[in-house]
Structure 1
């Protein structure tokens, strides 16, 4: 009986209030949350043409255009230039591809998707970690396409199969590292158009201010000094050295330090900005 004299009804008659015998499901763990956002990233390869085009079409066009349009002028013959350029074009394609997830995150923040995710009981860094983890397959595809095309066109890595595999593994690390730079701008700048403009500007500077298209030794002294400070230069040098089997210990250390510096500076800054937006 209730205080008013009416008989209390069982909880089972109020299905919207409680469900007898049922317990609240446990909150998803960090691994599950990361896997979910990684799967969301992979699905976009099928449904978002920009992601697939950047991963497949863009590297093919770059390889063909630069090898046969500029190769003879730079190295004497397209074949000779291909030996120098192909490792660089893989780096170029990966850096260009690495910005896609950052711009997607920026759109999520601008459109309110970020706020809906923030209100759910999940491990919040999974948005960043899972997204970048799902990019591994896209990066592998972006690496494999120009490499396969280069082998068909006559590229012959002197480092053999082992050198190529080590180079591709290093490129996964470098692409993961440089992705934090784009993530930083994606979280920092609220407007998608402005964020895309800044990311494209820095991407242009990093790619064409490097030794991807031509050796740094052929540049003026002041420009050579600037190019050697570019982390993309160290990535291209490390990739070439591994594929051709002539990588020095100093170049390898510089390539690894470039990855470490990008992660320490921009992963930390991005995490701080991301956590600040959650308050």
Structure 2
């Protein structure tokens, strides 16, 4: 009997991302391998749980509220940040259950912490490993989740191509405590569909102590400046914590 398919191959097959020839080979293997077939069925159940546990109703209501604003409201400076925080869907989803092989979609940090970004739209959800790039399709929403491990505080923010930094969680004050810390999976409470075009960098910082949001925002602006004002080339922020970064290409309007 041939070797088992890797978890990464099975996830790509489930998401419809395998090329034709590879997909045919994988499905031929599945027809004769009950173990791999069971893992694939597990992904389908995992997605169903994900969709039921973290509904998008809050996002949809946020869009409705945003559309009620008159046009002059939308043209005001700072409205883009509001749309990112309310009319976008950033979610950080985390899965650390081992399968047949170690998944490359997990960014393993100190003390058992992990982070993963997931994108949801009309098609199947897909995971984006920390440090990777993905292209958003119109209407797709982003979510982020994490396991805090040894860390007690979390903060999320994004930077667009123009260098505008938007705190996502929390929006002001300090990074928020993880309750309880450890290996429990947490979801960021808000959802966002990123507006505009160009690139958007999403960042999550897990730390042992609370960080001031304005200081992390300032660090993000410095990183953008140091990269020649190119969000795609931004370095880490250099703050006191573990960072996870994702680069997203937003669809053209």
TM-score by length of 1: 0.34
Greater fraction of residues in helix: 1
Bigger RCO (CA 8 Å, 6+ sep): 1
Greater fraction of residues in strand: 2
- Indicate the structure (1 or 2) with the bigger Cα radius of gyration: 1
